[in-house]
Amino acid sequence: MTGETRYADDLVLPRMAHAKLLRSSHAHARIRGIDTTRARALPGVLAVITGADLPRVRFGILPVSQDEEALCTEKVRMVGDAVAAVAAVDEETAEQACRLIDVAWEPLPALMSIEESLAHPEVRIHEYGDGPNVHKSVALQFGDVEAAFARADLVREDTFYYEGSTHLPLEQHAAVAHWGPDGKLTLWSSTQTPHYVHRLLAKILDVPAAHVRVVAAPVGGGFGGKLDPFAHEIAACHLSRLTGRPVKIALTREEVFYVHRGRHPVLMWLKTGFTRQGDITGCHIKTWLDGGAYGSYGVASTFYTGVINPVSYKMPVYKFEGARIFTNKPPCGPKRGHGTPQPRFALEVQLDRAAEQLGLDPAAMRRRIVTEPFTKTANHLTVTTTGLAECIDRVVEASGWRTKWRGWRAGEAPSEKKRGVGLACSAYMTGAGTAIYWNAMPHSGVVLRADRSGAVALLCGATDIGQGSDSILASFAAEVLGIALKDVHVHPADTTLTPVDLGSYSSRVTLMCGMATIQAAERLRGAIFEAVAKKLEVAPGALVARGGRVGVPEDWDTAVPFAQAVELGEAMHGVLAFPGSYAPPRRAGKYKGGGVGPSPCYSYTASVVDLSVDEETGEIELHDVWIAHDVGRALNPLLVEGQVEGSVYMGIGEALMEEQVFRKGLHKTPSMLDYKSPTTLETPDIHTILVETDDPEGPFGAKEAGQGPLLPIMPAIANAVYHAVGVRIDEVPITPDKILRALEARRRGKPARVGPEKLPLFAFKEPVVVESAFGQPADAVVVRPFQAERLA
């Protein structure tokens, strides 16, 4: 660590002003009036704005959920909603001015849980949706689940609750806006999606998109928390327009808790039929998501609580019902694993229980039911390669599972601290198959320009959020062109300079922007080869590019240095600048909702956790985590291991301590001291095993690594706790208090369990019934849009 990276908050421009937002202190209230007179009178204040000063435009990241205002005009829906903004000569003055803004509030009843929101249809948080306080309700059915349960030897019904959590990036959101004298706006921001921010800023500020430039500053941790357009960005832009100065705004940690867009709390009911051997006959899941105050990515999140589970195991028949409920809390959205950790927790804990009832080794049972490569799932998703079986084998082997697990251990004598192991698996997408707004254009674009110096400039819309995508894209160009990594210069995420990339989300950049980079590099190489072939009087097909030279392998002495090859190319073709484009294969299921879930390919993970539980205090001590991840191909093993370890660490926080607790309408712990997230000292030894399957859809065979490895951690811990002390904690976080309560229940002869006892009374709509596509062969290698020439 050198501290050299310049984040958005490090930018300093001449005459720069500083801005602060006034945020709501009510969870739900009508705004009767806002008086900014006293704030405006404060010396040093340059401008004060409210929603009345902005175009009356509602916005949201998804076209179906346009429900946000940068500065609320009529009512606020959570503590932390922004209602006014101040630009001043310094941050202290801006903050002081915010305290001088008088807002007349008319408090409304605050609905702080799924149950409260459903119980009070007369209190409406929003006027739109699929029912009072119901943002979205979905129901999909693939095949006949009742018949599948009738065929089963064992049918289990279990309920689970997954607490919400926040991303907790080290970098708090910051932005600098500059509305220049030429009437053009530039916004530097810590964002994972400069393209979407670009589109939405134009709409929200009512200015031509052609005069808006969004530059993604290096992001100091995103995890999904910097994927929406935010009030602070919009306010900074407008304040810059008013003051004629650059305006910086940097959120406090507490404000980051209000911006949120984190993990949805989800209540779940899961019913699965099993044969005696452990095969799944069918599965039915119901999910209720606590969405918070706004839509954000919530419609997608709702689908994701249902659609990915069938990718890991054979589920011939599948039914999914889900509903997202509005509450007066910070809006939930896409946190690492987006909507899938919750149902994964439910499925993997239920599998463990089924294995016990059937007397099966839970590792062997899972090993038996992994999906077949190059087949379709019940819900029409295409599985290409899957290394899940190998992942299970490798963690079983490495962890010494067979000696540690030793059967279900019923009737073992209790001792104070008991040790247990648990296993769980998962699957995750390598990039979403569809864009957020419907279009037929590329999802990722790259322009490569070769310089006479031998350097290559790589212009890409993608944002490096710490995962290392800049270096991976550079390495693709270097690999194809046979030049040193250092000779590639990456210029990312600047909407006036770089082609569109949809953003750093859904684990899409290495695959999508990578494929575009490879295409551009191959085109550049083709042009260079043509020119070098002419000089060397050989066929272009005889040439190779490696070690910084272009030539014929059998006659390497005549090989031309790359810089000279570029000159030859430029002399022949003019400027050497080539685009690359990528869009995923069009594989969306032909039913309403079929657009959520498809991906070019899926990653797979298996994990074993070894821990001890203190039966007197309920405290859990993690000893080791073994994790095997099918990454397709590890292009930079160190980066992949970093992503896997980071995922494990984040999963441990969700499993053991992170909670979004609200009291009197307020977040109870909006600080890094009080919101409990583990540190390196709470992180056990992590043993990472990389499994390679060389997927034909991925760049050089690679699949994702940044999200999937989080998924098995929570259920593996829950299963290990059961193995250690025989209690089921069917909700996260698994706290010492819950363990003591479950042990106490067992002593009293009650079920040794802590988890949800009842489910909301909620009528899902009639499901869309579609035939199961389970087991159908995957379509032959699909021609990808914009990439036909690569197959020719």
Taking the least distance from each CB to another protein, the nearer of 388 and 725 is 725
Task: For the CB of residue 674, give the shortest distance to another protein in the complex, in Å.
Answer: 7
Strands 666-667 and 662-663: antiparallel
> Which C-beta is closer to another protein: that of 224 or that of 618?
618
Alpha helices in 260-340 (DSSP H): 298-307
Shortest Å distance, C-beta 693 to another protein: 37
The minimum distance between CB 100 and another protein, in angstroms, equals 13
What letter does residue 84 receive in the DSSP assignment? E
* For another protein, the closer CB: 78 or 177: 78
Nearer to another protein, 2 or 679 (CB): 679
For the bound state, the minimum distance from the C-beta of residue 612 to another protein, rounded and expressed in Å, comes to: 8
Least distance CB 205 / another protein (angstroms): 26
Q: How far apart are CA 54 and CA 70, in angstroms?
A: 8
Q: How many contiguous H segments (helices) and E segments (strands) does the chain have?
A: 19, 34
Please say which residue, 368 or 419, places its beta carbon nearer to another protein. Answer: 419
Contact 264, 301 (CB under 8 A): yes
Name the 3-class secondary structure at 341: helix
Give me the residue label for tokens 């799932």. Answer: 377
- Which residue in the block uniquely carries the two structure tokens 């001792």? 415
Shortest reach from residue 330's CB to another protein, in Å = 13
Where in 651-709 does DSSP place strands (E)?
662-663, 666-667, 685-692
Q: Minimal distance in Å, beta carbon 9 to another protein?
A: 8
Contact 675, 166 (CB under 8 A): yes
Distance of alpha carbon 594 from alpha carbon 588, whole angstroms? 5
3-state class of 136 per DSSP? strand
CB of 67 to another protein, least distance (A): 23
Cβ proximity of 597 and 719 under 8 Å:
no
d(CA 754, CA 749): 14
Burial class (CB in 10 A: 0-12, 13-18, 19+), 727: buried
Q: How far is the CB of 29 from another protein (least distance, A)?
A: 11
Torsion angles phi and psi, residue 498, rounded to 5 = -110, 150
The least distance separating another protein from the CB of residue 696, rounded to whole angstroms, comes to 45
Closest approach of Cβ 657 to another protein, in Å? Answer: 6
Q: Is the peptide bond before 751 cis (omega within 30 degrees of 0)?
A: no
Judged by beta carbon, residue 95 or residue 356, the one nearer another protein is 95
Closest to another protein by CB, 254 vs 555, is: 254
Please tell me what DSSP assigns to residue 313: B
Interface positions with another protein (CB under 8 A): 23, 25-26, 79, 91-92, 95, 172, 250, 252-254, 416-417, 614, 616-619, 621, 657, 663-666, 668-671, 673-674, 676, 678-682, 735-737, 740
State the Cα–Cα distance between residues 714 and 729, nearest whole angstrom.
11
Sequence-separated (6 or more) residues with CB below 8 Å from residue 284? 145, 149, 270, 271, 272, 318, 319, 320
Q: How far apart are CA 269 and CA 761, in angstroms?
A: 13
Question: Quick one: 331 or 445, whose CB is closer to another protein?
Answer: 331
Rounded Cα distance, 735 and 620, in Å:
8
169 or 593: CB nearest another protein:
169
Burial classification of residue 416, based on how many CB atoms lie within 10 Å of its CB (0-12 exposed, 13-18 middle, 19 or more buried): exposed
Decide whether 45 or 392 has the Cβ nearer to another protein: 45
Q: How far is the CB of 664 from another protein (least distance, A)?
A: 6
Closest to another protein by CB, 304 or 662: 662
Is 630:603 a contact under the CB 8 Å cutoff? yes
Q: 203 or 741, CB closer to another protein?
A: 741
